[in-house]
Amino acid sequence: MWRDKEKKAPTQKATSKAWEDLPGLIDPAPAPEEPRPITPVTPTYFTEGSEKPMSETILKTANSSSSGQRQTLLGSSMVLKGELTGDEDLTIEGQFDGTINLKDYCVTIGQHGQVKADINARQVSVGGKLSGKVNARDKIEIRKTGNVVGDLVAMGVAIEEGAYFKGSIEILREEESSTSSSSAATHSRAAVSTWSA
């Protein structure tokens, strides 16, 4: 009886191995596939020196669950050079070299992101490395893991304790910004009144 069991076991294993080795066969018990939030981006972006649209594996868009706003991700293994414009938020975890113009949208540089670029956006948040001039209509944030060398111009700038920054910071005042929103203007006034007090 014991021997019978010992004999059966290798046979089952061999059968399972054979299933795996056969091309085109589906695993008898496939794991349920996770719903993928990331879908291919519309081919609006082009790599430097190429007229080909960027591969869907380089830039991916997802629907942000909270706001429903479209968001693009440059993955951590990606290196991209050139000019980037668009109408959606952007998160960079890879390397980018060039210019970014997302006037009404947010740019987030993740902890592993490395960016050498002049950025024009509504809001910029930096947790990785950034070198360049940044112009944000609303706010620039530098997280504690952030390392920024450059000139910042925005309605508000927030730097976390522990972040590295070298460069200049200039706050846009309501009279200087023709496109300032009412909330941003209130923020500016509040800042000035703190000083007066």
Partner 1 sequence: MAWTSQQKALSRTPQPGTGAPVPSQGLEWLWKHLQDVRQPQILDCGPVSPATLQVLLNRRAKVYVADLITPALEADPRFWDRSKKTPLFLTADFLRQLPEIPPASVTAVLSWNLLDLLPAESLPNVLGLFYSLLAPLGVFYCILREPFLAAGIERRWWLESPASPRSQVDAERTFPHPPITNREIEKLLPGASVKIFLTRSGRREVLAMRPAELRI
The residue ranges that bind partner 1 (CB under 8 A) are 149, 151, 157-161, 163-171, 173, 191-192, 194-195
Is 88 in contact with 69 (CB distance < 8 Å)? yes
For partner 1, give the closer residue by CB, 79 or 191: 191
The distance of closest approach from Cβ of residue 149 to partner 1 in the complex, given in angstroms and rounded to an integer, is: 8
Task: Name residues whose C-beta falls within 8 Å of residue 156's C-beta, 6 or more positions apart in sequence.
Answer: 138, 139, 140, 171, 184, 187
Residue placing its CB nearer to partner 1 in the complex, 72 or 123 = 123
Asked if 110 contacts 128 with a C-beta cutoff of 8 angstroms, the reply is yes
The residue among 97 and 174 lying less far from partner 1, judged by its C-beta, is 174
Least Å distance, CB 70 to partner 1, is 32
For the CB of residue 83, give the shortest distance to partner 1 in the complex, in Å. 24
Q: How far is the CB of 159 from partner 1 (least distance, A)?
A: 5
Q: In terms of CB distance, is 104 or 170 closer to partner 1?
A: 170
Positions of E strands within the chain: 38-40, 59-63, 70-74, 79-85, 89-92, 95-109, 114-126, 129-142, 147-159, 164-171
Helix, strand, coil fractions of the chain, as percent rounded to 5: 20, 45, 35
